[in-house]
Amino acid sequence: MPLNQTPCVGFQMPDLRRERPVQRRAVATGELQVGSAYSALVERRLPRGDALLLAQVAGLQGARNVAQLIPLHSLPTPDYVELRCLPLPGEDAVRVYCEVTGTACGSLALEALAGVNAALLCLCDQLEVLQPALCLREVRLLFDEGGPQGLRIHPRGLDEDEREHYLPQAASGLAGARCAVITLSDRAQAGTYADRSGPLLVEALQSLGAVVADVVLLPDGVEPLATRLKALATAGAELVLCTGGTGFGPRDLSPEALRAVADRPVPGLGELLRSESRHHTELAWLSRAEAGLIGRCLVVTLPGSPRAVAQGMAILGPLLAHARAMLRGEPHPDGRNHA
């Protein structure tokens, strides 16, 4: 290549090889100002038939075919798409909602927005003969949730109807739960290392509505952690998250400390953390993360790195509210007792 010639800039898809596929959900909305054609639309008197029904079909197709429209899209496949077309009689307009859910490595926000836009454009196609002065407006993503970024909601929030139909699953979370965070680190205790994992756990719990009543920094070893766990459970803590001490080092003894005071083990959570973290790194299988119950307090020991903590909370977060309900003896949402 000549020295005076600028090299071509290449393109590549997002690298999702180390991303964990998780359950995600996104909801978008938008409106079409119909004007004088409004009555013919809602009364199904348009020349080509029921435009509202056809717009729903177009929206479903739009949400499922984003990769054909957007270059280098990560190609998540929605498991479920729902379109709602709501006439707004006082405004001579139609509002469209598109809800998309699925297990994917990337966000489904584009799928929800594509569904809304496809439905609105289909209505335009049906209405332009009667009313050429059509106006699309207020197209926006209401929220998307799931994955490491958690819940992302539009700054305008949701109105009453939207909260009734599309309340984010993470909105209630651990509302009011009394929690504690413990960091195990000789270096942090000695002041030679800044604890970054503990504050991440505090932030994650608070985002779920929890009350983090205790934030503790302890040295490694069995006795300091075992004593503090027993005291926190006795004082009424519902959830204690520990970070550090789950490796192979001679002072990595968090699992042993938990076993010393736990009334019952919860082996499934440790297995889940290792199994799901393998999507991020093969070293996940070397983690000795564990969980157990001290009375009605759930304790989980997580690795010490900030990245592992963030990934661990993305894995545990969807389960914690249900775990709390089980410990409190609350009925299952469908009326059955908890497993």
**Annotated catalytic sites, by residue?**
125
157-167 residues labelled b (16+ CB within 10 A) or e (exposed): ebeeeeeeebe
Neighbour count for residue 295 (Cβ, 10 Å): 14
Dihedral angle at the C-alpha atoms of 284, 288, 289, 291, nearest 10 degrees?
A: 140
For the chain, give percent helix, strand, coil, nearest 5.
Answer: 40, 25, 40
Distance CA 144, CA 57 (A): 22
Pairing status of strand 93-104 against strand 135-145: unpaired
Q: Which amino acid is at 315?
A: I
DSSP track, 269-281 = HHHHHHHHHTTT-
Say if CB 273 and CB 312 are below 8 A apart: yes
Q: Which amino acid is at 100?
A: V
